Structures are given as structure tokens and as C-alpha cells.
Amino acid sequence: MNNIMDYLDWRGDIGFDQDGLNEVDNLIFSMVAYLNFDMIRGAQTIEEASKAYKDSKKRGTSKESRDFIKKIERLLDKLAKTQRYRGVTISDYMYKYDHDNESQFCAMTFRFGDWIYVAYRGTDESLVGFKEDFNMCFSAPVMAQKDAVAYLRQVLNKYRDQEVYTGGHSKGGNLAVYSHVGIDGEYRKRIVKIFNNDGPGFTEEILKTPAYRETAKKVIKLLPHGSVVGILMDDEEEYSIVKAKGDNGIVQHDGFNWDIKGTKFVKKDKFTDQSIRINQTLKLWLASLDREERNKFIDEFYGLIVKSTDASILGDISGKEIQSALAIVKNINSMDEESKEILVSAIKKLLKSTSEARGKLSMKKKLQKKAGEIMKINK
């Protein structure tokens, strides 16, 4: 299997002026968007930004230690040494964290020649970032989506002569799509393509809008064959299924595990049975909860995690999963009856949806088997 690092070995000496932006380049920019570039003032080439990033780490101003971020740091270092990427400029870096409004947002712009790629960051390690992801299930738009619209409008006003691409990984893919939905029609005409790399869908209110239907025509959605995140909620976007390494959708969500051949991802014909079952389960579960029930459940569950773990980032829980689980169980028992009922009722509906989804998948397999037998008879 070849991943984005192997792609650089093969394609790194060919500049964008010789061969334009492709779907693999899109994922690379989306991955780099996870790095914190607070040290950049104005605009810097990737070669310059890589050096500035390393200097920042030496000074101890960057404290990221996650394996995922370490892989992207190695990616950045490799990009800075390639003919294709080192002259690409990073500019307009923006990071916002709002605990009170439960929002985490980050975006940056990559520029080369006559095109720009606006990259939105996916969910970071903050619990607030994950809470905002949950909020998307019942609230439209969330703060990060509003910020994405404002950011894209600002960039379009600043760079008036370039072709514009937008994209992101995970929640970043959702923000890339929504930023196009939220801008005016004249702005939309300037967007060439929107890349959604395993990002979740939208609430029904957004899907019904003419702006979304217009936007969906430009979206290139890429989903690993075991997708879990990208199948959350609904959308009307054409998608391709990517072959990915890993035995579950969480591992496959990592863009470093996507299989590449040439300038494209290796495609598959269908999702795994596990991915299909999770998709059916979540859709059945969300359909069983009205907006108020979703809202209350998410608020109560998030509050329970924070109270039980005293965590602000996922790293505070990592390595303490058993202790955290025990603390959560203990705190459930100490909750007031109304809060406890909200959690218990939603969990019961989730278990029921799981059972129903398994039944549907089992029936689907039986029908497929029967269809195969009929085909053999007809032959």
C-alpha cells in the first residue's frame, strides 16, 4: 500500500506548474491544516514555514505530542524538501477557540501561481471541539460553520484573481462544504471544487436549501471503505470509496492510511458491512430522537464526561479509560432523576436501533444471496 508519504517520493520533483492540483494534493493540504502555525506572520512558503515550525518546537512554544500530529510534522518536513510543495505559500492562518460558545475553528490558505486552496482543520484534541461535532446533529449552523463562511468570504475578497479550491478532513470537510453554502451566489461562482475528506453531513434544514443543492454539485467527497465519520448524518454529495488500511473506520479515518496509486486514491466498489451497519444504526437512532431529545442527551453526556474526568482535552483521558469509565458510572448514579432518564432513554433507543440495523443487514444479505441463486438458475 502507498500513502501520501510515498506519493511525495514519486511526485515530489514535479511542480504544480507542470501538473496541477489533484485529489491527493488536496488530502495533503487538509492534513497540514492540523498543525498550529501561530508563529507565521503574513505569508511564508512551506519551506520557510517548516523551519519556523521547527524553531517554535525548539523554543518549547509547541506542546503537541500526539502520534497523529507527529506524523503530520514529518509530512511538513518532507514537503519542504520537494520541488512540488516547498514554494507553496501558507497565509491567512486563523485559529479560534471559544469555550463558552462550544466552538473550535482553524483555517489557512495555500497559494501557488493562479490558484489557492482554502483548508479547514478537522476536530482537534479539545473536548469543546468534539462537543461542537455533536452539536451538528441538532443545531444548524454551529459557530465553526459560521466562522468558515466568514473566513472564505474574507479570502475571496483578498485574492480576486485566483481559482479557488476549498477542502478539509473530518469536520474540516463539513466546514469546506458549508462555507460555500453560506456565501453569496457571486462568490460561489469562483469556487472550482470542494473536497470533503471523510467529513460528516448536515441537518435536514441545510439539505433542503437551494444553496446546498447548488453546492453539492461541486463537492468531491472521499470516504474510506470502512467509514464511520463521513457517513454521519445525510448529504447529497457524489462520493468515491477509498481503499484504506485498518480493520475499522476509526483507523481508516486517518488520511495517512488511504491507499494511493499515481495521482489518485485506489477506489473500492462498496463499504464494509461494519460501516453499513453503523450508518444504519445511527440513522435509526437519530430518527428516534427529536431535536430537543438530541440536544438534551448531548449536553448531559458531555457534562458527564467533563465532570467525571475533569478533562479539557482528550489527552487528559488517554491512558485512563478504565478510571474514567468507572467515574462516569458513579456519576450517573448521582445524577438527578430527569438527567438520568434523558441518558437512559437515549441509550435504550440506541441499543434498539443497533438491533434493528443488524436485522436489516441480515435481511439484505439474504436477499443478495437469493438474487445470486436466481441469476444462476436463469443462466
Give per-residue pLDDT as tens, 301-348: 666 666 666 655 555 545 555 665 666 667 777 778 887 787 778 778
Q: How are beta strands 264-265 and 260-261 bridged, if at all?
A: antiparallel
Nearest to 123 by CA among 53, 66, 173, 65: 173
State the first-to-last Cα distance of the chain, in angstroms, to the nearest integer. 38
DSSP 8-state symbol, 243: P
> Are the beta carbons of 16 and 88 closer than 8 angstroms?
yes
Neighbour order of strands in the sheet with 43-45: 43-45, 89-98, 103-112, 115-120, 163-169, 191-197, 219-224, 239-242, 267-268
| Residue 200 pLDDT | 87
Domain ranges of the chain: 4-271, 278-378
| Sites in the chain below the pLDDT cut of 70 | 61-65, 99-102, 124-135, 137-138, 301-329, 350, 357, 360-379
* Residue type at position 131: K
Residues in Cβ contact with 359 at an 8 Å cutoff, skipping those fewer than 6 apart: none
Cis amide leading into 224 (omega within 30): no
pLDDT number for residue 312: 56
Assigned fold of 4-271: Rossmann fold (3.40.50)
User: Is the CB of residue 164 less than 8 Å from the CB of residue 118?
Assistant: yes
Distance from the Cα of residue 198 to its chain's centroid: 5
Alpha-carbon distance values, 217 to 149, 230, 317, 355 (Å): 18, 18, 40, 35
What is the DSSP pairing of strand 219-224 with strand 191-197?
parallel
CA distance 291 to 146: 20
**Cα separation, 251 vs 229, whole angstroms:** 11
Element at 69 (helix H, strand E): helix 67-79
Residues in CB range of 330: below 8 A, 6 or more apart: 308
Pairing of strands 264-265, 163-169: unpaired
| 299-304 contact pairs (CB < 8 A, 24+) | 300/335, 300/339, 300/342, 300/343, 301/134, 301/343, 302/127, 302/131, 302/134, 304/328, 304/331, 304/332, 304/335, 304/343
Rounded distance, CA 242 to CA 259, Å?
7
Taking only the tens place, the pLDDT of each residue in 122-132 is: 875 555 655 66
> Distances from the Cα of 317 to the Cαs of 98, 306, 324, in angstroms?
21, 10, 7
pLDDT of amino acid 173 = 95
**Of 20, 16, 78, 63, the residue nearest 256 (C-alpha):** 78
The model's pLDDT over 239-287, given as tens digits with 9 standing for 90+, comes to 999 999 998 878 888 999 999 999 999 999 999 888 888 778 877 877 7
Q: What distance lies between CA 278 and its chain's CA centroid?
A: 17
Measured on CA atoms in the order 86, 25, 278, 206, is the torsion positive or negative?
A: positive
Cα 101 from chain centre: 20
**According to the model, what pLDDT value does residue 322 have?**
60
CA distance 271 to 248: 11
